[in-house]
Structure 1
């Protein structure tokens, strides 16, 4: 009798499971529109030039591979927070703005969730729909999951009034997870006016925003994509931000992120800092240093900063180009109004607005892989495979 006899396997991850299936698929025309990785026109993901240049610098100046502190590289944290909040706010909030280096954006969400479940509340509200791993992360923290309406599938618009109505019934101090930009999976973001209204609403209801910020620069621009978070911060929220640098620096495998927490005063910030660092200590002890070193090197060098901004702009421009090409191609088959809503989406992802049954047929019959919600990674498309994907959509629509 094995000690593992009663272990029940988890079902495959809904996204990585599709990736495994895609790799095994023998169809020569197969198309992968699933995982959130930026791909160029050749469907390749390359290390950014600015990253390669930064690594050359690090190779010359690094003397050791010693541990970082529990909270991570403090210089990296300072540079990362300037990117998120802006330099002026960081100066103003010194002492009340805490930061910890994390294992990507996922690690920031988990570390923040562990802290919240232990010290503040177990009640967390997720948008419906949201990134599937949000639920798993916060459940693993021991939190109680609630959802709020976010997307109207009939009109392909933000369901803002129903969202506010649902959150109006949330208990005080509940956590509300928000996507800072480029909502995953819909690509549908609030307008500035809606963000302002939501900020005022959450303050009035004493609800706590927790921003997942994974795609800065992929929506409207580096500054524009940070607008909502900066507005909330300047409005006086106590709040959380889990930022990821997987996408906009292309550091997917380096697992580099930053958790920021804004408290009301310095003493409260010091108190929570000690708890967060302790939670990191008993989990992974201290974060890896290479990704932090790369980003710090880039952000402290004017030439590398400009190179990086140019590369982010190129990635965003490819996303916009592919999106427009897709909408135009779909318009020729279905009429220009059928998929026109996609042009009002931001970031890597958009939902096609098709049924789960049609998704299954596209995978089974055409080896076009997308998530069950109909979400696609736009950069999985290029000039060569787009006609085939359009054909799959057309022939499975019945």
Structure 2
């Protein structure tokens, strides 16, 4: 029997990062090292459930009496709690009720709904610094937006080329959108300074382009307050903005898909209008958000004891990543690499990008069993005292 509907489909190659994880699992070498997939890890290679999450989950399960749908905006109290966490109760936009949020299936859901809202509002394209997170492009394109790359990171210098980036930003106009990483840039780890963020918002104010901020690692850079600078300034200075928020990393809720899309409106009524469109778009995509992760986050953020415990755990996780950065740089210096990898301690969050080619990452993997993405991105959580010398040895062999 013929199959006219699906007969012309071609095999889609697996996502590069998912394919890298599959290759790592298939590798039989006992000394292999995974620096690829973007999850927090302890030195013994575990991604544990945070204790505050486990405690909140147990309380929820003990008291759960129904599996009825959540409302379109998400778990009760979730959106308000995320807004309070990111902006603080004293923020002018919060006082003026210009902030509103809906729960989404992870940060990806927030990005997709935000992109569709931009398209519904008339946007045809979105500009983003290159390189960016690999899933930004397909998420934006699926919503009908053309993704236009702006120069951002100089891989040879291992630093942001801000003059080149601002050269692109300064050409944007009122019909354009700029996608920014809120903190802990993925894949480079190179964050904009507060002064550079201010310069971007100066341009946004004068030129009228829209800003969409992706905040996926809140609390993994310097602190919850410091990492919120971009979002808080956008809401303070700009008439409107969108912010995608993920709870995957800072709450360790990867598989629960808990995120938020935050609307910044020019006033309280405009924020309500934006949210009405967000819930409408969500209805046409996934209808209602998944309950479990949103309920956990809401429970933690509304319980003083759980919230304090969660913040303490997040501080420990951030400190561990910073310690891994310092360990890698210290070991590189001890192994006669000089200052070649010093840039790693100037960066923030889970990731850094080694100045290597795609072909060199293949050699890392095939010869040394060191797995990283093809652009040289490494997850600093995968570095520890038992493998750091092997990583530096591989780097010296492949890239020096």
Query: Which interval holds the TM-score relative to the shorter structure?
Result: over 0.9
Report the CA distance between 1:212 and its aligned residue. 0.6
After TM superposition, the structure 1 stretch with the greater mean CA deviation from structure 2, 231-240 or 347-356, is 231-240
Q: Please list the CA deviations of residues 235-272 of structure 1 after superposition, one character each: whole Å capped at 9, or x if unmatched.
A: 13411110000011001111000100111123333332
> Once the 2 structures are TM-superposed, how far is the Cα of residue 25 of structure 1 from its aligned partner?
1.2
Q: 2:207 aligns with which of 202, 205, 208?
A: 205
Q: Is the 8 A contact 2:128 2:180 kept in 1?
A: yes
Q: Distance in 1 between matches of 2:94 and 2:239?
A: 17
Question: Does 2:95 match 1:92?
Answer: yes
- 2:247 corresponds, among 245, 248, 252, to 245
TM-score by length of 2: 0.96
Q: CA deviation at 1:164?
A: 1.1
Matches within 5 A, 1:1-398: 1-2=2-3, 3-89=5-91, 91-94=94-97, 96-397=98-399
Query: Conserved in 2, the CA contact under 8 Å of 1:71 and 1:280?
Result: no
Structure 1: how far apart are the matches of 2:102 and 2:154? Answer: 36
The Cα of 1:322 is off from its aligned counterpart by 0.7
| Stretches of 4+ aligned residues off by more than 3 angstroms | none
Q: Distance in 2 between matches of 1:78 and 1:277?
A: 15
RMSD of Structure 2 on Structure 1 (CA) = 1.4
Counterpart Cα distance in 1 of 2:51 and 2:272: 38
Moved more, 330-339 or 380-389: 330-339
- C-alpha distance in 1 between matches for 2:8 and 2:336: 51
* Contact 1:208–1:237 under 8 Å retained in 2: no
Check conservation: 1:43, 1:382, Cα contact below 8 A. no
Deviations 1:71-130 (A, max 9, x none): 212411000111111112264131x32211000001100010111112231210111000
Cα drift, residue 280 of structure 1? 0.8
Greater mean deviation of Cα atoms: 306-315 or 227-236: 227-236
Counterpart Cα distance in 2 of 1:386 and 1:185: 20
CA distance in 1, matches of 2:336, 2:52: 42
- Partner Cα separation in structure 1 for residue 383 and residue 290 of structure 2: 33
Structure 2 residues not aligned, in runs of 5+: none
Higher mean displacement: 78-87 or 333-342 = 333-342
In the alignment of these two chains, the number of paired residues is 397
Q: Is the contact made by 2:75 and 2:298 (CA closer than 8 Å) also made in structure 1? A: no
> Structure 2 CA distance, aligned partners of 1:365 and 1:335?
20
Cα pair 2:105 2:289 within 8 Å, conserved: yes
Residues 10-42 of structure 1 deviation map (CA, whole Å, 9 limit, x = unaligned): 222111111111111112211111111000111
Distance in 2, matches of 1:357 and 1:163, equals 27
Native 8 Å contact 2:128 2:148 kept in 1 = yes
**TM-score normalised by length of structure 1:** 0.96
Of 55-64 and 361-370, more deviation after overlay is shown by 55-64
How big is each residue's C-alpha offset from its partner over 1:141-180, in whole Å with a ceiling of 9 and x where there is no partner?
Answer: 1101111111122322211111111122223231111011
